[in-house]
A and B are shown apart, each in its own frame.
Chain A
Amino acid sequence: MLFPLPSPAAPPRVVITGAGIVTALGTGWKPNAEGFRAGRRAFRHVSLFDVSRQRAKVAAEVDLPATLPPTSLNARQIARLDRAGAMLLLAAHEAWRQARWESAENLPLVLGTTAGGMTLGEAYFRQALQTPLRKRRQPTRAVYYQAQVQARMVLDALNFSGPITIISNACASGSNAVGHAWDLIRSGQAECVFAGGYDALSELVFSGFDALQALSPTVCRPFDARRDGLALGEGAAMIALETLDRARRRNAPILGELIAYSASIDHHHLTQPHPQGDTTLNVMRQACATAGIAPGDVDYVNAHGTGTVLNDSSEAIAIGRWAGSRTATLPVSSTKANVGHLLGAAGAVEAVICLMALREQWLPTQGAFESPDPACNFPIVNKPRDARINVALSNSFGFGGVNATLIFRRWT
């Protein structure tokens, strides 16, 4: 039963035993780890739809493999997957195999997304307007554009069942999904949870950010004094979370430990953060309190860092207020400079980047950065370097004001 809830008990430690990632840098841990370590950028002229009348012309598009990995999906189901669903499946398959999980009952799946199968929705809309009497493929599009149906494909592909939760808190969705998974395990509602985020590029979303003049017409340079906007990307990341006890019982390799999650709401504006970063400051403080650590214990911050003027100044001020004297030496980067803003996938992808950094002991290199914004008093990691990292913090903020912070610890 989902309710009554389990009686409160000492919260278990939560570890990560599997991670899967798809970005424009590649499919899987290895190409992404190499790319983020080197600070590679993966933008190109948009090929998925016409951008000739848009201000911005580039995005970080994923090159999908010709064939998907073998799963329990049949040919008909695979044919119905859209781009977003395919990326989700690729990330899920990698994380599942790495975790060595097997067919299970009652395994919760928590996903963050902003658009689900938006490209199918767009196709439905176009056909309904342009050829209103033509019905071909419309029922399939109407079903498969829905995020919960894409989530069910993950269950079917990997042979497990359990409750599906789809969180759509705009660009914080991926972090909220990972954080909600952590909550479910800590509260005793589950011993393991499969969580992550995904979003594919779509014409509607690209046009929306372009209309807001939020897309950079030049180069996305988070925290740079001359920054002029964000760049969009697409991708997916999935994480296998479980109690430390369960991982030990299974003898599973542990990639890292999730030691805190915090979320809050910024009432300031639908699309603009509080200029002094009040809510960001609060979620970072709350997360540290939960983890029982101080800012001085944090070795790396993966910032939300979209590259917009308002986000980056607000976040920079918040980081400075939170970190205090540690600010001047705290390594920070925004990997959105490398693979773009992945919207509902961003928080989950950046969680996996933190796990890579903790596991392989290097700092993720921001792909573009020249001169710091005056509010940015911390060092931006813009050259590849190895480092001793025990604790990494990841920020995510979304339209609507949801702020989320995750903190990961190295597993040795």
Chain B
Amino acid sequence: MSRIVVAGLGAVSPAGWNVAALREALAKGEPLPVQSIERPGWQKLLRARVVPNPAVRPEFLAHPRLRRTSPVTHYAAAAALEATACLRTSPEVKRRVGLIVCLQAGCVQYTCRFFDETLKNPATASPLLFPETVYAAPGSHIAALLKDVTLVYSLVGDPSSFLQGVVLGAQWLEEKRADACLVIGAEELNWILADALRYFDRSAILTCGAGALCLCRESEIAAGVELAAITDAHTYSVRRNRNEAARNMRRQLEGGAAGELLCDGLGGSSRTDEAERAAWKDWSGSRLSPKRILGEGMMASAAWQCVAACDAVANGRSAAANISLVGSNQQAIGARFVRTGPSISHLSAGGDAGNIRT
């Protein structure tokens, strides 16, 4: 079996439009500022962390396919371009790219707009909006943007399914259906998501953005990080609750030595964090909890956890990193990335240890 390595990383978050901004925010360890969003019919505002406008309008937004797209596609496209920069360093080498876009809520902004128009008068509902409401839209646009994409899947699930996307990418590489695989987790926000989140976790602050991992088999473009393991998917059911699933996931991942990192999904809520906290109570290595800084970004949060973990390993801050994804309503899955070979500059150098707590 081939080894699967990380070739590039990409991120758009409330911290900014690249991995460096994500790294810097995590290094500071301070929760990012919170903005207010309006909810129709309410005086009270909802809280969220939004992605700041980029300093310069990204060139890719001029692409004909991206002109009318919603923010989730913008975020995913920016993360995709950053993660695949390594593939463009030698344009003469044509690589077949597999693309897997993972979403939980998906294109909620246009969906709500279109349904609102439908309820008012379906005869005038915009035909431009509807195609952008489907889960497959971001993947389709990114495939058109990157050009070398030969296969696209859009996966839907709770945030833990991001790691199923990584497994699928590894499978396509292993079966030589693609030369590189890009796995993206992305979300956008609107009032209805912030409203729904309040029913389950009043302390959570909704956020949005995207994270991307570019995977390949061993090659000269590898970035010094190797995928070592992904646990089984420990699905929740009437017979197995979230606590048990998280414990089973933890049992399948080794590690915990000094110099190793756990990138977890703790967000600061005693109720929603309980299962994950209990599962990892034995962990003695460093910890990084991106949600505490960035907020609850659903699939984007899962992707940021993986990006932050791989970044820490690639830049020599950790010898290995475990990722814990205890999903909201589907399953618990974990992964382990380890260091392989020397650090490579294209993942961008520097940065502190993030909000790593030892």
Contacts and interface: CB of A to CB of B under 8 A. Distances in A.
Interface of A: 1-5, 7-8, 53-54, 72, 106, 113-114, 116, 122, 124-126, 128-129, 132-133, 135, 138-139, 142-143, 146-149, 152, 155-156, 161-170, 176, 183, 187, 189, 203-204, 207-213, 263-265, 267, 270-271, 398-402
Contacts of B175: 183, 187
Contact of B153 (A4, A148, A164, A167): A167
B171 A401 contact: no
B230 to A, nearest CB: 4
Contacts of A213: 127
Sort A-B residue pairs by CB-CB distance and give the 10 closest, nearest first.
A132-B41, A400-B140, A208-B130, A163-B233, A400-B136, A168-B135, A3-B230, A207-B118, A139-B199, A142-B196
Contact of B156 (A147, A211, A264): A147
A161 B239 CA distance: 9
Contacts of A270: 65, 131-132, 137, 140-141
A5 B139 contact: no
Contacts of B104: 146
Interface stretch (B266-274, B275-283, B325-333): B325-333
A132 B40 contact: yes
Contacts of A4: 1, 229
A135 B199 CA distance: 9
B171 A5 contact: yes
B233 A162 contact: yes
Interface in B30-59: 39-42
B348 interface: no
B155 interface: yes
A169 B1 CA distance: 29
Contacts of B41: 128-129, 132-133
Interface string B296-326: 0000000000000000000000000000000
B330 A164 contact: yes
B137 A204 contact: no
Of the candidates A143, A148, A164, the one having the most CB atoms from chain B within 10 angstroms of its own CB is A148
Contacts of B70: none
Given A2-B333, A4-B229, A139-B200, A164 B157 contact: yes
Contacts of B349: none
A133 B115 CA distance: 20
Contacts of A170: 134-136
6 contacts: A53-B122, A53-B123, A146-B329, A163-B235, A204-B114, A211-B122
A1 B254 CA distance: 12
A76 to B, nearest CB: 11
Of the candidates B114, B116, B236, the one having the most CB atoms from chain A within 10 angstroms of its own CB is B236
Given A132-B40, A167-B154, A399 B131 contact: yes
Contacts of B330: 148-149, 152, 164
A169 B237 contact: no
Kindly state the interface size class of chain B when it binds its partner.
Answer: 35 or more
Contacts of A166: 155-157, 161
B153 A116 contact: no
A163 B199 contact: no
Given A168-B154, A204-B133, A208-B114, 13 more contacts: A1-B232, A54-B122, A125-B192, A132-B40, A147-B157, A156-B238, A164-B331, A165-B161, A168-B156, A183-B175, A267-B144, A399-B134, A402-B140
B196 A54 contact: no
B121 interface: yes
B192 A400 contact: no
B21 interface: no
A400 B99 CA distance: 13
A3 B152 contact: no
Contacts of B112: 125
B151 A263 contact: yes
B22 to A, nearest CB: 24
Interface string B143-159: 11001011111111110
Contacts of B111: 204
B156 A148 contact: yes
Given A122-B115, A148-B157, A148-B330, A208 B133 contact: yes
Nearest to B335: A3
B167 interface: yes
Contacts of A148: 156-158, 161, 329-330
A1 B252 contact: yes
B84 interface: no
A164 B230 contact: no
A167 to B, nearest CB: 6
Of the candidates B99, B153, B200, B240, the one having the most CB atoms from chain A within 10 angstroms of its own CB is B153
A170 B150 CA distance: 17
A2 to B, nearest CB: 4
B109 interface: no
B235 A152 contact: yes
Contacts of A1: 229-232, 252
A181 to B, nearest CB: 13
A8 B1 contact: yes
B195 to A, nearest CB: 6
B125 interface: yes
A125 B115 contact: yes
B1 A7 contact: yes
A270 B67 CA distance: 12
A373 to B, nearest CB: 24
Contacts of A124: 192, 196
Nearest to A72: B238
A165 B155 contact: yes
Given A5-B1, A156-B238, A168 B136 contact: yes
B127 A399 contact: no
B235 A54 contact: no
A132 B152 contact: no
B164 interface: yes
Contacts of A263: 151
Interface in B77-126: 99, 103-104, 106, 111-112, 114-116, 118-119, 121-123, 125-126
Nearest to B167: A2
B326 to A, nearest CB: 14
B227 interface: yes
A175 B157 CA distance: 18
A42 to B, nearest CB: 24
A14 to B, nearest CB: 15
A227 to B, nearest CB: 19
Contacts of A156: 237-238
A100 B39 CA distance: 50
A138 B174 CA distance: 44
A125 B125 CA distance: 16
A207 B122 contact: yes
Of the candidates A139, A183, A211, A264, the one having the most CB atoms from chain B within 10 angstroms of its own CB is A211
